Structure 1
Amino acid sequence: MSNNEMVSPDNALPAGQTPVLEMPFFHRVTGDRLDRSFPGSQTIYLALGCFWGAEKLFWNTEGVRQTAVGYMGGFTPNPTYRQVCTGRTGHAETVRVTYDPEQISTEEILTLFLENHDPTQGMRQGNDVGTQYRSAIWCTTSEQFVAATALKGVFQANLLEAGYGQITTTIAMADGVEFYLAEAEHQQYLENNPFGYCPVHATGVCLAQA
């Protein structure tokens, strides 16, 4: 099996003993604990390739209360980064985005998601190849799911007009899908490593065409 083919539950790596990130851990940009709750906020989980640059995109967005990176959508509990890179956990590199809907709408969050990677590439983003780099959205409300499905349809039409193929982004509810926080060195990675490698693979296609 290559690492760009989804592993089966029977062939996935076994669970780790404990979470790889111990609490308390404090966000390197905002200073808040990563397990802090934000009353009135909403959370959505977004996979769009390498999570280092994707997280920075969202922590720099007004209305976003907190970000964190982790692993989601696979079968191995408490995976390490090295394990995820083998393609044998089934997890995607994912950004947890907590936002204030009074300051930024779900549609605006999803627009940033769609316009800042190439959602037609399947199990890759550019030279980053593997199931961990696939495009996915895990929603925590039915409103998010409806918005994601509608915007995907609009963006698909725009991509086809620009010569791109079919969107491969999966959209699902997060119910029962565990998000495992990544190791400390990956949290807000580009804050500690401002020259770290994590290119944006945006298509240049906009959701709202001129």
Structure 2
Amino acid sequence: MIFGNSFKNRLPSAEEALPGRAAPNYSVPPAHTVLGHPLQGPYPADLEVADFGLGCFWGAERKFWQVPGVWTTLVGYQGGQTPNPTYDEVCSGATGHTEAVRVVFDPALVTYEDLLKVFWEAHDPTQGFRQGNDRGSQYRSAVYTHSPDQAQAATATRDDFQSVLKRVGYSDITTEILPAGPFYPAEPYHQQYLDKNPDGYCGLGGTGQSCPIGVARTDG
């Protein structure tokens, strides 16, 4: 299999992707270091799940665990071909995954549109296979939806935010909006990385523009 920069600017085909493995070679910690709740399901029945990719998942996860009404967050790999990939494999570009954050939330306290507002404003969704100085297909912008309502909301907010960005000179939004496929949790050290390493790297940076749909709540 070819590594290097072969897949930094394109996604591999199914034939080109790494074969992966039947099961992960590590276990995810049982509880969130900030929120205290389990990282993996099954989750309480009154909660909902949202999946986002917006660059390096360390900073992206922190953005969401700080939102009142979010019950737990989990970082992992999504949107690719390789089952149970490792971080090194994802960084090679040869799995097709992007770094993603799973957000489990209470819809009575925070809406999906609220989370989309956080998503759009926390990064630059026009950059394609990069986010700031982080380059590669694993940093692409993505929304992976779990229902037709989520898909409709993601598309509507994208279109409205596109209008805002166009007015100030940004190019087209490149965000991938697709039904959620398999989500593979990342290695334990990636989970809540910036809680365990408060001075750690965070390459997240937005456009400075406000998404006109959804109002991010400030109370829980």
Same fold? TM cut 0.5:
yes
Give the AA of the match of 2:196. Answer: N
Q: Does the alignment pair 1:25 with 2:27?
A: no
In structure 2, the partner of 1:169 is: 175
In structure 2, the partner of 1:55 is: 61
**C-alpha separation in 2, matches of 1:116 and 1:24:** 26
User: Alpha-carbon deviations, 1:130-158, whole Å to 9, x = none?
Assistant: 00000010111111111111010000000
Q: Report how far residue 95 of structure 1 moved.
A: 0.1
Give the AA of the match of 2:93. Answer: G
Q: Does the alignment pair 1:14 with 2:25?
A: no
Q: Report how far residue 24 of structure 1 moved.
A: 5.4
In structure 2, the partner of 1:182 is: 186
Give the AA of the match of 1:14. Answer: P
Contact 1:20–1:183, Cα closer than 8 Å, also in 2: no
In structure 1, the partner of 2:3 is: none
User: Alpha-carbon deviations, 1:92-130, whole Å to 9, x = none?
Assistant: 000000111110111110000000000000000011000
**C-alpha separation in 2, matches of 1:17 and 1:42:** 27
Q: Report how far residue 187 of structure 1 moved.
A: 0.3
**C-alpha separation in 1, matches of 2:192 and 2:26:** 13
Of 199, 203, 210, the match for 2:203: 199
Q: Secondary structure at the match of 2:144?
A: strand
**C-alpha separation in 2, matches of 1:35 and 1:12:** 26
Identity in percent: 48
Contact 2:70–2:105, Cα closer than 8 Å, also in 1: yes
Q: How does 1:34-113 map to 2 (within 5 A)?
A: 34-36=39-41, 37-113=43-119
Q: Secondary structure at the match of 1:166?
A: coil
User: Alpha-carbon deviations, 1:15-42, whole Å to 9, x = none?
Assistant: 1342144155221112222124122111
Q: Secondary structure at the match of 1:16?
A: coil
Give the AA of the match of 1:182. Answer: A
TM-score (structure 2 length as normaliser): 0.90
User: Alpha-carbon deviations, 1:70-99, whole Å to 9, x = none?
Assistant: 000001111010110000000000000011
Change (3 A) 1:154 1:185: same
In structure 2, the partner of 1:123 is: 129
Moved over 6 A (4+): none
**C-alpha separation in 1, matches of 2:152 and 2:7:** 33
Q: 5+ unaligned residues in a row in structure 2: which ranges?
A: 1-5, 214-220
Contact 1:83–1:89, Cα closer than 8 Å, also in 2: yes
Change (3 A) 1:23 1:159: closer
User: Alpha-carbon deviations, 1:139-178, whole Å to 9, x = none?
Assistant: 111111111110100000000001000000011111xx10
Give the aligned length: 207
Q: Secondary structure at the match of 1:185?
A: helix
